[in-house]
Amino acid sequence: MDNNAKVAVLGASGGIGQPLSLLLKNSPLVSRLTLYDIAHTPGVAADLSHIETRAVVKGYLGPEQLPDCLKGCDVVVIPAGVPRKPGMTRDDLFNTNATIVATLTAACAQHCPEAMICIIANPVNSTIPITAEVFKKHGVYNPNKIFGVTTLDIVRANTFVAELKSLDPARVNVPVIGGHAGKTIIPLISQCTPKVDFPQDQLTTLIGRIQEAGTEVVKAKAGAGSATLSMAYAGARFVFSLVDAMNGKEGVVECAFVKSQETDCSYFSTPLLLGKKGIEKNLGIGKISSFEEKMVAEAMAELKASIKKGEDFVKSMK
């Protein structure tokens, strides 16, 4: 596949979809970029197609054009769905986004069952179980190829730690495990490279800020949506890591919310070694502090409930 990744973005006209598509179009790793949405894709695709990079861009509008958008894809990224407004939790998006994700992933299962599926649409803690159940229904489920994109939590943790310690954020790496909502977001500051130390009160504030960083943006945007530009960056970072690994690069590690046997929760985010066929090895939680162990224990009930909600949703579908 060397530098010839065929990538589809579903929800490509949205706040995340447009800048994410721009970053993908700007990459030498991508040779074909297919953009799907229920609105505005002809314009977005025409606009991006004038950029002087190799990736061929094409827009697809409405459900009857979705199959052609997906055929032959190596990677599908899904930021389609409604974002939060002030006062909403990610779970408040469930009713709308569950149907959108189930519909779009059913089309993936039919038209590009071998592709890597990267879900951005919230609530990620439920949309990943939804995707897995949809793929199972179609008999094409491969847990190594379905990823809940939590990269923005890592990006934020890196940025905030760098700010506090006056480091270059590009050189900071904080693994973030668990899920992608409130207290299920568990930054492992004890595993940060370079090693950093904080007094307990500062650590608690830092972790709280990472967990609520999405809400910080929702409040600042005051009704105009949630994180879009930083999410586009994070989504592109995840796709580039995945494509690098698919191209044979070794030692590529990213955290993502995936099917997991690392805890007694059936889906969990941990650092993953990526390879040609998706997850090559789950690197697990590793050694963590007692404070972090407590956070993991406290996240379990909410995570399990969100997972069950997603699974039940697909089971109840006709």
Catalytic residue list: 180
Residue closer to ligand NAD by CB (options 215, 226) is: 226
Give the closest residue to 101 by CA, choosing from 42, 140, 146, 44: 146
Residue nearest to ligand NAD (CB): 14
Residue closer to ligand NAD by CB (options 37, 74) is: 37
In the complex, the smallest distance separating the C-beta of residue 43 from ligand NAD, rounded to whole angstroms, is 12
In the complex, the smallest distance separating the C-beta of residue 211 from ligand NAD, rounded to whole angstroms, is 12
Instruction: Please tell me what DSSP assigns to residue 173.
Output: B
Separation CA 108–CA 116 (nearest Å): 10
Residue closer to ligand NAD by CB (options 16, 303) is: 16
Tokens of residue 2, six digits = 């060397």
Q: Would you call 5 helix, strand, or coil by DSSP?
A: strand
Side chain identity, residue 2: D
In the complex, the smallest distance separating the C-beta of residue 131 from ligand NAD, rounded to whole angstroms, is 13
- Helix (H) / strand (E) element for 132: namely helix 124-137
Tokens of residue 271, six digits = 């650092």
Residues forming contacts to ligand NAD in the complex (CB under 6 A) are 10-11, 13-17, 37-39, 79-84, 93, 97, 100, 103-104, 120-122, 124, 149, 152, 180, 225-228, 231
Residue closer to ligand NAD by CB (options 37, 311) is: 37
In the complex, the smallest distance separating the C-beta of residue 195 from ligand NAD, rounded to whole angstroms, is 27
Plot region of 248 (φ>0 → left; ψ -120 to 50 → alpha; else → beta): left
Cα separations in angstroms, 310 against 133, 283, 307: 9, 25, 5
Instruction: Please tell me what DSSP assigns to residue 145.
Output: G
